[in-house]
Amino acid sequence: MILYAGILASIVLPYCWIKGIEHLDPVRCSMVMNLLPVFTAVLAVLILHETLSSYHVIGSVMALMGVMLSQEPALWNTPALWNKPSRHPR
């Protein structure tokens, strides 16, 4: 566990994060930062053979939905979505 926390979480993850910021813009990387706990849970299950509980799954789904919603600005910024024309002419 010390090697996992010391090497992967303290060295490998920040290195990959910095390389990602070099290739993408910081705004896009900050949205994906919410997925770090999801990746941590997946790695804990795969490497440390931890048990996956229902709250892990619920939290992971919520984090994934949040990132997916934040990646669709056209859906939220479309004025036609909020100002639908009425069926009856005035």
What does the pLDDT look like over 11-48, one tens digit per residue?
Answer: 887 888 788 888 887 777 777 778 888 988 898 899 99
How far apart CA 29 and CA 20 sit, in angstroms, is 7
Answer whether residue 84 shows pLDDT above 70: no
Are 63 and 38 contacting, i.e. CB atoms less than 8 angstroms apart?
yes
| Average pLDDT score, the chain | 77
Rounded to two decimals, what is the model's pTM?
0.56
